[in-house]
Structure 1
């Protein structure tokens, strides 16, 4: 706790300038906002900090730019290694918006925003919003549990950018596959929501990288990952193959499409990355070595 050396304001969490060593409030913490003597030592070929000193408006503009740059940097640093948790948060925010729009505005608008439908597949935004939208609390809870356990080890091996691309692209293509096959089987109404296709793509990658990884079905039945993955695929084929739309209220064809994408991508990157050895609780900064269960 200290007072700002520039304006005298009391600050609970003061900032110390690394160049001049003085303490400042959040408004004056940047060197250009307190006329830091250290500015004279900067390599400034463009003359931003000339000997005559920048104008007040110039300093304000630079401060805003610096703050914006810091915000972007903080976001990148958080997203790097935490994309799974960003996607989990977006899923629940989207689900809440679905409920709010459907309850207080109209179900038709909610459907147009969040559901990839047979009647309007040209609504391109729904290719992606439908990945984060869900059909009910149980639906999103199950997908969240699966993503929480299977997502982080795949993200650690792929890197956050490639992992994010896998999640978004496989989720969108899985939904489009469900719609396309449904139309081909004669369906005229219907839609798809949920991150299941993206989750199955993640499981497909993990299955290729480490098929013997031990997981727990329903939290207590142990089995190697390949048994769970291909058992689920067999179930989807048997249940969904003969039903228009892919099996009642379950998008089995989306599951199969997502799994196929994941298996193919896993084979593509298999030689470039080390196989995850276990599923860990928590993100990169915590967790320990507990084994995940699904």
Structure 2
């Protein structure tokens, strides 16, 4: 038995909205009947209400009005190789992280550096991937540094990827793809800029910052505001409320940011200031958006995972 999120009616076989993830009775199952946040994207061809039809069908419009993907020959329709990315910025960002991670190694090897741990010694490599207090005018690094990660191992990129994959899809359902993309990039940039500002104030320099941790923790904090009692299975075994995880990161970030070794990526090679800024942005934006959200009490893999993908949504299930 589940209760309708609108009227509270108990249902043996409730309906779960594939766009906002809420649980509803038959009377309120349609998006317009429960004021679904996804209605904001009704007119967005790549949004949560994307029909999945092939946009390349001739409609009498000039080719100049077609999408960028169509113009460069990328098939994002159902069944296509890039179908999973259609209207799903969470997957787009994860793919960008993977592509940039490979690019870090390619550039490092082309520069003749065989040890990934030494890539950052190259000024050229740093000028492409690292947002540094010495060169904040390299505005492209405001973005590239979000998707770049420590090339010496996989823990950095995998840790951020897990948070973005499991929580990002839910937040994107609430915000819609366009607002989620802006939220992700802006929170990542502000977190990075805040980190290098602290480095400059504390030491007049510092290594710089790279990684999507600020954006990932903004996502975590945003979801915490919307559903603080949401149960997350830590290591897929230990049930922990999401507020406890966010609180732990907040405490760790505050202590780390105030420590003498916070400048640079010291104190355990962690950009604590970036983490703290990401958390604050997520909490702030979550409170602004809270009244318009409907997060389900139970979250499952493969349920309402965003539009697109060959054949539609994924079918795997399991407790979040």
* TM superposition score category, shorter chain reference: 0.7 to 0.9
Pick from 163, 173, 176 the counterpart of residue 180 of structure 2: 163
Could you tell me how far 1:75 is from its partner in structure 2? 5.2
Q: Structure 1 CA distance, aligned partners of 2:95 and 2:227?
A: 27
- CA distance in 2: counterparts of 1:93 and 1:131, whole angstroms: 12
Q: Which residue of 1 aligns with 2:123?
A: 108
Whether the 8 Å contact between 2:196 and 2:206 is mirrored in structure 1 is: no
Q: What corresponds to 2:270 in structure 1?
A: 250
Say which SS state the counterpart of residue 262 (structure 2) adopts. coil
Which of 136, 143, 166 pairs up with 1:128? Answer: 143
Q: Take 1:80 and 1:140, find their aligned partners in 2: how far apart are those partners? A: 23
Q: Which residue of 1 aligns with 2:6?
A: none
Distance 1:81 1:181, change over 3 A: same
Task: Please report the TM-score for the alignment, with normalisation by the length of structure 1.
Answer: 0.72
Kept after mapping to 1: 8 A contact 2:262/2:271: no
Counterpart contact for 2:225–2:290, Cα < 8 Å:
yes
Q: Equivalent residue of 1:223, what SS?
A: strand
Distance change in 2, residues 1:156/1:150 (3 Å): same
Residues of 2 paired with 1:257 and 1:247: CA distance? 17
Select 1:192's aligned residue among 189, 205, 209.
209
- Partner of 1:260 in structure 2? 280
Contact 1:80–1:160, Cα closer than 8 Å, also in 2: no
Shifted more, 137-146 versus 71-80: the winner is 71-80
- Structure 1 residues 187 and 287: CA distance shift in structure 2, 3 A: farther
Deviation at 1:114, TM superposition (A): 0.8
Contact 1:113 1:126 in 2 (8 A): yes
Match of 1:207 in 2: 224
Aligned match of 2:159: 142
Q: Who wins on radius of gyration, i.e. which is larger?
A: 1
Q: CA, structure 1 residues 287+226, in 2 after alignment: closer, same or farther (shift >3 Å)? A: farther
Name which structure has the greater RCO, CA cutoff 8 Å, separation 6+: 2
Mean CA deviation greater in 97-106 or 84-93: 97-106
1:269 pairs, out of 282, 285, 289, with 289
Contact 2:187 2:218 in 1 (8 A): yes
Report the counterpart of residue 58 of structure 1 in structure 2: none
Gaps of 5+ in 2: 1-55, 113-121, 307-312
Contact 1:128-1:168 at 8 Å conserved across structures: yes
Of Structure 1 and Structure 2, the greater helix share is in 1
Work out the number of aligned pairs and report it.
236
C-alpha contact 2:234 2:240 (8 A) present in aligned 1? yes
User: 1 CA distance for matches of 2:216 and 2:276?
Assistant: 11
Partner deviation per Cα, 1:109-130 (whole Å, 9 max, x = no partner): 2210110011111111100100
Mapped to 2, the partners of 1:170 and 1:274 lie a distance apart of 23
Is the Cα contact below 8 Å between 2:129 and 2:210 reproduced in 1? yes
> Is this contact kept in 1: 2:256–2:262, CA < 8 A?
no
Q: Does the C-alpha gap of structure 1 residues 108 and 287 become closer, same or farther in structure 2, counting only changes over 3 Å?
A: farther
TM-score normalized by the length of structure 2: 0.67
Of residues 95, 103, 120 in structure 2, which corresponds to 1:97? 103
Q: CA deviation at 1:69?
A: 7.2
